[in-house]
Chain A
Amino acid sequence: MKLSTYNFLTSMAIKGVKVGYPLKLTINKKDVVETEFNPTFVERLLPKLDWSAVYGAAQVAELADDIPAVQPENIAENELLLQKLHHLLFEVDVIEGQLECPETGRVFPIADGIPNMLLNEDEV
């Protein structure tokens, strides 16, 4: 699971959960895969992301030194930061870990790189 994907996942589908975001991320095993840097793509994705969850993911992935806690203005002109965001969002692959619903504590396991968001019938 890429940390860009993580940014969009919620536990809102659980019955009674209001926001279900951000999910509490735990990383037990991760890979780093190099991918082509496309600054325009990162820039276009940014408005769709939640910065506090980006920063939260950076902390868990031990990359918090690279990412400011508050979203800076004019990121488009800051190529170095765009590169660091590219690395955090697209190159870190969470292989084993879990996501936890902030409201119910329901755990969604991440195994073999795939987050399992499926719910049982009695949970929805």
Chain B
Amino acid sequence: MARLKLNKLEEYLSSVDGFEKPKILLEQYPTPPHIAACMVHHIQTQHEDIEGKLVGDLGCGCGMLSIASHLLGADLTIGFEIDGDAIDVFRGNIDDMELPNVDCVRTDVLQLQTEGIGRWGKVFDTIVMNPPFGTKHNAGIDMQFLEVGLALASGAVYSLHKTSTRDYIQKRCHKWNVKGKVVAELRYNLDASYKFHKHKSKDIEVDLWRFVHGDETI
């Protein structure tokens, strides 16, 4: 069960502000309200991994997934983001919508990976993320985000990845002793956020994955 219907959730999320000036190197594509609503609604209704949970959002940007999680009843959501401008918008969204249970830390998610997870290991019930897809001279960054997500989660990790990388991700799961499953296929409509996008908007096929640690059943 979810406390909001899908269309209501999407309606609320449509008032979330996005990036003012998206940064290409950080692959700041906003998560569209429709995608965020479908993703988080699915996570709650099919797996009950949002309501009453401690949720982490890696590379939270302007907070779309954090806010969606909060609206579906997460007890506390903590977003992690490297970019100060995105965080300013995130904070503005939290204040405008008066969301009391959403927190944010400015940090480099990859630094968490390379320098040790510190005290964050297995802290979160659920991790949600829309990682950079790794198409801008940073190949593999989505896998690095995923590795951090798995270290931070005691429960499931939900993440969006390009459908074209499906086989590769499955192999990685095997290597990491992680169980991964595509739970939804989405069409990610990228508005022409950057100047080099020639077409007005373009659909990209994206998978919503659910990952759990190897000793659990998916």
Contact = CB atoms under 8 A, between A and B. Distances in A.
Interface of A: 1-2, 4-5, 7-10, 12-13, 20-21, 33-35, 38, 40-41, 45, 48, 50, 90-91, 112-119, 124
Contacts of B103: 1-2, 4-5
B87 interface: yes
Given A2-B103, A118-B82, A124 B115 contact: yes
Given A1-B103, A117-B105, A10 B52 contact: no
Contacts of B101: 35, 90
Contacts of A1: 103, 105
Interface string B47-86: 0000010100000000000000000000110100010100
Interface of B: 52, 54, 75-76, 78, 82, 84, 87-88, 91, 100-101, 103-108, 111-112, 114-116, 118-120, 122-123
A119 B111 CA distance: 9
Interface of A, secondary structure class, is loop
Contacts of A21: 118-119
B8 to A, nearest CB: 20
A8 B152 CA distance: 11
Contacts of A34: 100
B118 A12 contact: yes
25 contacts: A1-B105, A4-B103, A7-B119, A8-B120, A10-B118, A12-B118, A13-B111, A13-B112, A13-B115, A20-B118, A35-B100, A35-B101, A40-B52, A48-B122, A90-B100, A113-B104, A114-B104, A114-B106, A115-B105, A115-B106, A118-B82, A118-B106, A118-B107, A119-B108, A119-B111
B184 to A, nearest CB: 28
A124 B111 contact: yes
A7 B105 CA distance: 12
B118 A8 contact: yes
Contacts of A38: 52, 75
A2 B101 CA distance: 9
A95 B122 CA distance: 27
B22 to A, nearest CB: 20
Contact of A2 (B76, B82, B111): B76
A70 B118 CA distance: 23
A21 B157 CA distance: 27
A115 B80 CA distance: 10
Nearest to A15: B115
A43 to B, nearest CB: 12
A40 B75 CA distance: 10
Given A4-B76, A9-B119, A21-B119, 6 more contacts: A12-B115, A41-B52, A90-B101, A115-B106, A117-B107, A118-B108
